[in-house]
Amino acid sequence: MTRKILLASAAALALGSGAAMAQDRVIGFSQIGSESGWRAAETTLTRMQAEERGYDLRFSDAQQRQENQIAAIRSFVAQGVDAILLAPVVATGWDSVLQEAHEAEIPVVLLDRMVDSDPSLYLTAVGSDLVHEGEVAGQWLVDEVAGEECRVVELQGTTGSSPAIDRKTGFEQAIAGHDNIQIVRSQTGDFTRALGKEVMESFIQAENGGRDICALYAHNDDMAVGAIQAIKEAGLTPGEDILIVSIDAVPDIFAAMAAGEANATVELTPNMAGPAFDALEAFWADGTEPEKFIQTESRLYTQADDPAGEYEARKDLGY
Ligand code: GZL
């Protein structure tokens, strides 16, 4: 063999072993599903982060069913993965399976939603202050209607999920003491566009063809986008006849804002995996125990914040 071929082989071997070293870290990811654009972006960014860091990411899509997530976690424990990422579809029912991971000494990191289990059963949780998100949305409406009467309909997220519970709490806290604003109808749209549209159709039918509705508060943008379709099909103008405030800051809500069909959204970063992997790497390096909650920022965007530009900045991020 010539010297050149030998050097090339040695380099390839070194790279290979380097890649092999990075591949030593196997991560199990129990993802809720693909119910919303935001969820799709979270999955995309998690895969990108894992690839950049050389992890072997084992991905499980639970189709929004807790029993599938529990089965996936048990499988990851049986595989002896190095860590488990869990985006828990609902807040309750995790004690037993988290105990099994704990006994197997496999660190669990929660992404974007919380569980009501003892915090000793997970390494840390990465997410936003969900109550604050609801407060920001509610305060925007209080300021926007400026004392005028406003009958609000609410599309809740997945029943029993921490965002659905906390975003409702936060919004109600913000409008408390403003008797001009009342939530007159509230129902789950399960964070999906399809159900958001369907439930909004029923709200419109029950509220004088929608003419008695002043505003929609949707716990995520996807349900708002579905509701906007229902409002237009009822012959009303979303963003004007019915104000629209929601949460996530996905590209399509900025497209609606640019068209004057939505009014405000509260941003939720889909990059929960970055802080999660950083915490795991510190834990693996020297046993550093992270804070039990790593909070991501929540920012309000309105029609005054260049929605067309925000759409362009986000449209290729995997939503
Ligand atoms: C909130 C997250 C929610 C998003 C929705 O932290 O769990 O789940 O707001 C998604 O888009 O379905």
How does pLDDT run across 115-157, given as a tens digit for each residue? 999 999 999 999 999 999 999 999 999 999 999 999 999 999 9
Report H helices in the chain: 3-23, 37-52, 66-79, 95-103, 130-145, 162-175, 193-206, 221-233, 251-258, 273-286, 307-314
Ligand 1 pocket check: which of 112, 169, 188, 296 to mutate, most ligand atoms within 8 Å of Cβ? 112
Q: What is the pLDDT of residue 318?
A: 86
86 CA to middle of ligand 1, Å? 13
Residue numbers of the domain that contains 121:
3-127+270-288
Asked if 114 contacts 162 with a C-beta cutoff of 8 angstroms, the reply is: yes
Claim to verify: residue 28 and residue 138 sit in the same structural domain: no
pLDDT tens, residue by residue, 184-233: 999 999 999 999 999 999 999 999 999 999 999 999 999 999 999 999 99
147 and 41 in one domain? no
Residue at 230 is within a domain: yes
Q: How far apart are CA 319 and CA 315, in angstroms?
A: 7
User: Contact 94/117 with Cβ under 8 angstroms?
Assistant: yes
Q: Which atom of ligand 1 is nearest to the CA of 112?
A: 6
* pLDDT exceeds cutoff 70 at 1: no
pLDDT at 3: 42
| 23-27, 104-108, 149-153, 221-225: least confidently modelled range | 23-27
Ligand 1 binding site (Cβ under 6 Å of any ligand atom): 35-36, 38-39, 112-113, 127, 163, 191, 220, 222, 247-248, 268
Let me know whether 169 and 260 are in one domain: yes
Ligand 1 atom 6, closest CA: 112
State the Rg of the chain over Cα.
22
- For residue 20, is pLDDT > 80? no
What percent of the chain shows pLDDT beyond 70?
93
Do 230 and 283 lie in one domain? The reply is: no
In a domain, 222, yes or no: yes
Mutate to test the pocket of ligand 1, among 268, 295, 297, 298 (most ligand atoms within 8 A of CB): 268
154 and 245 assigned to the same domain = yes
317, part of any domain: no
Count of residues in the chain: 319
CA 100 – CA 78 distance, rounded (Å) = 10
**Same-domain pairing of 55 and 182:** no
Measured between its terminal Cα atoms, the distance across the chain in Å is: 50
Alpha carbon 312 to its chain's center: 20
Together in a domain, 158 and 242: yes
Mean pLDDT of the chain: 94
Residues 26 and 99 in one domain: yes
Q: Pairing between strand 150-156 and 181-188?
A: parallel
User: Is the per-residue pLDDT at 5 higher than 60?
Assistant: no
Orientation angle between helical segments 130-145 and 162-175, nearest 10 degrees: 30
Q: Which atom of ligand 1 is nearest to the CA of 128?
A: 6
Least confident range from 23-27, 210-214, 276-280, 287-291: namely 23-27
| CA separation for the pair 88, 115 (Å, rounded) | 7
Position 296 in a domain: no
Residue range 292-312: mean pLDDT, rounded? 97
Instruction: Report the percentage of the chain scoring pLDDT > 90.
Output: 91
Q: Is 21's pLDDT higher than 50?
A: no
Count of the separate structural domains present in the chain: 2
Establish if 310 belongs to a structural domain: no
Asked if residue 44 and residue 152 are part of one domain, the reply reads no
The verdict on residue 295 lying in a domain is: no
Confidence of residue 16 (pLDDT cuts 50, 70, 90): very low
Residues 16 and 120 in one domain: yes
pLDDT above 60 (res 261): yes
Banded model confidence at residue 7, pLDDT cuts 50, 70, 90: very low
Tell me the three state secondary structure of residue 209.
helix
At position 70, the amino acid (one-letter code) is I
| CATH number of the domain bearing residue 164 | 3.40.50.2300
Tell me what pLDDT residue 84 has: 98
Q: Which two tokens stand for residue 260?
A: 């004057």
Opening angle at CA 179, ends 178 and 183, nearest 5: 95
Show Cβ contacts of residue 306 under 8 Å, excluding neighbours closer than 6 positions: none
Q: Mean pLDDT across the stretch 24-49?
A: 97
User: Quick check: is 54 in a domain?
Assistant: yes
As a whole number of angstroms, the distance between CA 166 and CA 153 comes to 17
Q: Where residue 24 falls among pLDDT bands split at 50, 70, 90?
A: confident
pLDDT (0 to 100) of residue 2 = 42
- 152 in the same domain as 121: no
Pair 296, 269: CB distance under 8 Å: yes
- Whether residue 204 is found in the same domain as residue 109: no
Whose C-alpha lies nearest to ligand 1, atom 2? 112
Per-residue pLDDT averaged across 50-73, rounded? Answer: 98
In a domain, 13, yes or no: yes
